[in-house]
Structure 1
Amino acid sequence: MHITNIGINHWHDPDFFINRPQGSGDYLILLIKSKAIFTFSEGDTEASAGNVVLYKKGTPQFYRADGERFGNDWFHFLPDNEEDLQFLQGLDIAYDRLHFSQNLSEPAKIMEMLCHEYFFDHPNKTESINLLLRLFFIKLSEALHSTSQGRNGTNYEKISALRISIYNDPARDWSISAISNVLAMSPSSFQHTYKKLFGVAPVNDVIAARVERAKYLLSTTDHSIKQIAHICGYASDMHFVRQFGKITGMRPTEFRNRSQ
């Protein structure tokens, strides 16, 4: 398999739409980060953060934002041979429909690695991309087919979707009061439930999500420390530097030098 185009953490205006009656000429995978409307043969279907779509080559592609910014990770790709097609078929990821997973963190991280490989040349680029593509689809299949015993209640689904949103857009103002109001929970009940489900306090998860985004930007862009702090939701670059050092044991500049 090989990638024909890829984009990570793309956000579009609320009037965004895609209208491809003949498809895109290749296969397309989307990891969705916001509310959206997808139109399949049976009609319109609402999507949200945590949904996934795998379009087959030749399938019409119609989707649009749903009253707010549209965000997604995506890549277009083509199988190289029959073996690649059989590999995809064996993973049991149905084409041309919405899937949902409570945790897409592993596929999302692999997609970031694919993006890095795609845009930087090196002697083993083709082999690396092919291996990462296979690992991506294996981890995606695991995420879509895994079951969470004892975690099937409405609160779990809502809070899991929230956690996906935090990691997809960590720069937002994730205040406990605002989140708990949206979930119709008291702040104390929300924090207790969140930590019980995921083993970490929501405030600390927001910090972890921001640091993860910062690590990616430090290793893949030449943005200044001040720019990265702003992108990751920090009002002060000094606060960012202190928090990054506390989590990683390194200053941002040191992490950038090591990663490069």
Structure 2
Amino acid sequence: MIRIYYAGYDAIHTADFVYDVPEGHNTWLLILTRTPAQFWVEGEMKEYPANCAVVFQPHQKILYRACADSYGNDWIHFDSDEIHLKESKLLHGVPFPMPDPEYFHQLFQLLTAEHFFSCAYRELSMDYLFRIIINKLIEASHSTNNTPHYQNLLNLRKAIYNNPGHPWAVPAMAEHVHLSSGYLQAIYKSTFGISCMDDVIQCRIRLAKEKLLHSPHRISEIAAICGYMNIEHFSRQFRQITGYAPREYQKLMASDS
């Protein structure tokens, strides 16, 4: 069971900000830093970059402070008897980078909104959101993708998934993430297990399947929506991936429904 006591996001403090609780709190404390900060770790103050998460257990010493012009964070005070949280190998009191901090930040926003407002499913919604937060924390603490380029690669992949019909090309993608074309292709595949252009094609075909089944568009229009200027090229790639021509796929799915 999880109980949220206080939650907030985008808290901003001045450059002289210090948070010092020698005996800790009676509750757990989760923080997502939005700026660089110094934390008391292993008997000394150490500097950590923005977009790190840190979890403090009840009664654990807490000391952190700003190390830039300002300090900002998201935070939650909570209690939990969740076994997977207590038995996870999270290093309590030690910040670690979040691979997708904006998504994590959005979870804080949603949780805070549910906490502040009395809605019919408030407790259930908060419980679901907090479980996602804990799962993401555990994933991040074990992640091997905390490379300098990972966030840029992740943002690029999100952009591809959100707009597969864009005229994606490796040189433009490489310029977007400030890498050479060759290096982008190498680290994209090593990170996500698929080349960037194969990822684009897979996204386009997924979109095409949806449009073929659930839109009134003609196949030539669907091809254009999915980023194909040539309907023959679209049909060829569609068949390579699905085993069917677009119209065959449309008829087959319609007969099965």
In the superposition, the TM-score normalised over structure 2's length comes to 0.57
- State which of 170, 176, 179 in structure 2 corresponds to 1:193: 179
Equivalent pairs counted in the alignment come to: 165
| 2:125 match | 128
Contact 1:11 1:72 in 2 (8 A): yes
Q: Secondary structure at the match of 2:24?
A: coil
In 1, Cα distance between the equivalents of 2:104 and 2:138? Answer: 9
Deviation of the 1:30 alpha carbon: 0.6
In 1, Cα distance between the equivalents of 2:27 and 2:149? Answer: 36
Deviation of the 1:189 alpha carbon: 6.6
Q: Secondary structure at the match of 2:131?
A: helix
Contact 1:106 1:139 in 2 (8 A): no
Change (3 A) 1:50 1:67: closer
Deviation of the 1:101 alpha carbon: 2.8
| 1:119 match | 116
In 1, Cα distance between the equivalents of 2:177 and 2:102? Answer: 21
Change (3 A) 1:104 1:92: farther
Corresponding letter in the other structure for 1:147:
T
**Misfit runs of 4+, over 3 Å:** 188-192, 194-199
Q: Secondary structure at the match of 2:68?
A: coil
Contact 2:38 2:64 in 1 (8 A): yes
Deviation of the 1:194 alpha carbon: 9.4
| 2:51 match | 50
Superposition pairs for residues 1-260 of structure 1, below 5 Å?
A: 1-79=2-80, 81=81, 84=82, 86-148=83-145, 152=147, 155-156=148-149, 192-193=178-179, 196=184
Contact 1:104 1:143 in 2 (8 A): no
Which is greater in Rg? 2
CA shift digits 1:139-175 (9 cap, x unpaired): 2222332333xx84xx527x75xx8xxxxxxxxxxxx
CA shift digits 1:202-247 (9 cap, x unpaired): xxxxxxxxxxxxxxxxxxxxxxxxxxxxxxxxxxxxxxxxxxxxxx
In 1, Cα distance between the equivalents of 2:91 and 2:177? Answer: 36
Corresponding letter in the other structure for 1:48:
P
Q: Secondary structure at the match of 1:146?
A: coil
Structure 1 spans left out of the alignment, 5+ residues = 164-187, 200-260
In 1, Cα distance between the equivalents of 2:178 and 2:93? Answer: 38
Corresponding letter in the other structure for 1:32:
T
Contact 2:12 2:70 in 1 (8 A): yes
Corresponding letter in the other structure for 1:9:
D
In 2, Cα distance between the equivalents of 1:88 and 1:19? Answer: 25
CA shift digits 1:63-114 (9 cap, x unpaired): 11013200111111011x4xx1x12034432212121233223322221110
In the superposition, the TM-score normalised over structure 1's length comes to 0.56
In 2, Cα distance between the equivalents of 1:194 and 1:62? Answer: 42
In 2, Cα distance between the equivalents of 1:147 and 1:105? Answer: 19
Change (3 A) 1:106 1:67: closer
Quote the sequence identity (%): 24
